[in-house]
Amino acid sequence: MTFDGFDFTCFDAIKHTFPSLDKHVSVENGIFYLSLLEQFVELRAEFADELDAFHARAELRYEAWIRGCQRRHDDHTLSSIIPPIDCQRMMPHMLFFPLPLKQLHLQRHHPSNDSITFWNDECVKGKEPFTLTMKELQVELPGYRDCPLCKKCFKLSGLDYGKWRTDPTVYLKCWFCEQEFNVHDAAIEQIVSDLTREKPPHEKDVAWIRGTMLNNKGTIKTSVTETGSTSITQRLRRIITHYSNNSQDTALPSPTTTSSSNSSSRAMCEFIENSVRRKTTSMYDVEPILLRQLHFRALEQEYTTAEEKQKQQKIKDLAYAINACYGNNPSPFSLDLIQAAERQHAATTRILAMTWSLPDTLVLGVRHYKNFLLRMYEPQDWVGASTAPVDVAWRTHMLFPEAYRKFTLKHMHRVINHEDSIPHYSLEEEEDDEDNGNRSSYRRLSHVLAINSHQHRPSRYFPRVHPRPSFGNDYYHGSIVVDDPIDSLSLCSDHYDPAFVEPTFSPTREIMPDIVCNFEK
């Protein structure tokens, strides 16, 4: 692989000329991220014969890592500690803190004693090795699994657990209650667990159901925190009242004797236990059940057609969140990390198959990523597309979740999700680009950036936005000059100066030509 052992100090003489955005999107971090992607590809190849067992075990180990970090309050020490590589493969999809990219590169293949000690003492209590091997997958899982139905413990081999975790047609039979259950049954119990969990005071405004707290801009819904009949908890309570009203012994507690949040969570829990548990085979079944309950209530309350349709949409939004966050997902995370990791594998392989001319390609990646974000200010019929270098810069930015969220809320007024409806540049087109720097891909991008639903225009004719957006001090263009057909200095540039005269030489080619690194397979 190409980035293994890469020494970034070879750029010390010119790294002050490199661009950066939000301090974290830099050439250095881009290289470290590419090094991490290489490790993921190597790891997947190593466990290719038992991918299901490997992914299921990695998910459990990542959960152990997170719980260990929650017990550790020394953030400074954590910054120099890395998780096992299998946990790293899960981390980019469910980040709780910034990924230590530099340490992941420096400790590649050789984890520090601090990292191993933290793993053994804080995360797994010596029951799991730091480096996962095929041997560990073939023996029993450390500790015990709980039956989702009777809560009794049982032992299970790593291979059997992998088959059960990734295939909803595989059932396990509990030795105590003798009931069979699959991953869907376990996911249902996750909903019940979330609804019945005692919340500490600092979580009083956290939504009960995963996926219902944030709006499509990434900010907290006002209906989560507001009180009264318009809150989401009260709406949930009213939606499922019909079921409880038909059973006198399961009547809802009075709002005067308990908080609206607790009463609605109990009502939802009763609905799950009575109408969903052991009566459905998929989370897709939840929506028609809820809609049927709503229809009965609409008949009783004599809703108008418009009122019923409005409530139906809210039901569909709730059902979508349940399916997206709990569907065949028995983990405590609101995302199926196994599916997320596998979805990214194809893109990772294509990214690494490119020819990376360093630092030029990543310099352009940072600058074009800035332009890409500025396109979000354009009218909705204008869309942006990302090249592989832009995608690397984007993913690198998201590896610092708190900074990424703060930056996008500050400048874009919303949190931009990597899986939003933004048409991505097809990386398959890169496979035929053999010329260094992928010049033809940038020529294509100069047109792709200005795609309208009805016409194509060269990027130099792209309409300006007034007032012109700017990232201010959060973006540094850098003085390094690289061959850029898009001319990113003048295109929506934050530091454009009409009196600026471009240097007639490139520091990377004329001052220190020996440090231009060309990585090829």
pLDDT in the model for residue 223: 54
pLDDT in the model for residue 186: 95
The Cα 357–Cα 431 span in angstroms is: 15
pLDDT in the model for residue 96: 66
Q: What is the 3-state secondary structure (H, E, C) of 293-327?
A: HHHHHHHHHCCCHHHHHHHHHHHHHHHHHHHHHHC
Rounded to whole angstroms, the maximal C-alpha distance in the chain is: 84
pLDDT in the model for residue 497: 41
Side-chain half-sphere exposure of 106, counting CA atoms within 13 A:
14
Interaxial angle between packed helices 260-271 and 232-239, expressed in degrees from 0 to 180 and rounded to the nearest 10: 40
The Cα 186–Cα 191 span in angstroms is: 9
- Indicate the DSSP class of residue 220: B
The neighbouring-strand residues paired with 452 are: 382
Smallest CA-to-CA distance from 408 within 450, 445, 370 is with: 370
The Cα 297–Cα 239 span in angstroms is: 8
Domain co-membership, 361 together with 483: yes
Q: Looking at the domain assignment, is residue 363 inside a domain? A: yes
Q: Looking at the domain assignment, is residue 455 inside a domain? A: yes
pLDDT in the model for residue 512: 33
The Cα 140–Cα 121 span in angstroms is: 21
- Domain containing 299 equals 199-326
User: How many C-beta atoms lie closer than 10 Å to residue 387's C-beta?
Assistant: 29
Q: Looking at the domain assignment, is residue 191 inside a domain? A: no
The pTM assigned to this predicted structure is 0.77
Domain co-membership, 370 together with 432: yes
Q: Which two tokens stand for residue 441?
A: 């891909």
Domain co-membership, 252 together with 306: yes
pLDDT in the model for residue 98: 77
pLDDT in the model for residue 516: 39
The neighbouring-strand residues paired with 517 are: 358
Q: Which two tokens stand for residue 247?
A: 């059973």
Domain co-membership, 399 together with 496: yes
Q: Looking at the domain assignment, is residue 65 inside a domain? A: no
**Could you tell me if 183 and 328 are in contact, meaning their C-beta atoms sit under 8 angstroms apart?**
yes
pLDDT in the model for residue 216: 66
Smallest CA-to-CA distance from 148 within 330, 297, 318, 306 is with: 330
- Indicate the DSSP class of residue 92: G
CA quadruple 283, 287, 288, 291: dihedral, nearest 10: 160
pLDDT in the model for residue 460: 40
Domain co-membership, 384 together with 489: yes
Q: Looking at the domain assignment, is residue 52 inside a domain? A: no
Q: Which of the listed residues 326, 345, 369 is the one where a domain comes to its end? A: 326
Domain co-membership, 268 together with 364: no
**Could you tell me if 359 and 340 are in contact, meaning their C-beta atoms sit under 8 angstroms apart?**
no
Q: In this structure, are strands 180-181 and 25-26 parallel, antiparallel, or unpaired?
A: unpaired
Q: Please spell the DSSP secondary structure of 173-218, one letter per residue.
A: E-TTT--EE-HHHHHHHHHHHHHHPPPPGGGTTS-SSTT-SB-TTS
Domain co-membership, 364 together with 255: no
Q: Give the residue carrying structure tokens 């009575």.
A: 274
pLDDT in the model for residue 442: 39
Domain co-membership, 258 together with 393: no
Q: Which two tokens stand for residue 190?
A: 């996750």
**Parts of the chain with a pLDDT under 50:** 1, 228-229, 232, 239-258, 381-383, 420-467, 488-493, 495-521
Domain co-membership, 267 together with 409: no
Domain co-membership, 234 together with 363: no
User: How many C-beta atoms lie closer than 10 Å to residue 229's C-beta?
Assistant: 11
Q: Which of the listed residues 310, 326, 342 is the one where a domain comes to its end? A: 326
The distance from CA 315 to its chain's CA centroid, rounded to whole angstroms, is 25
Burial class (CB in 10 A: 0-12, 13-18, 19+), 206: middle
Looking at the structure of the chain, the number of domains it has is: 2
**Overall residue count recorded for the chain in this entry:** 521
* 3-class state of residue 342 by DSSP: helix
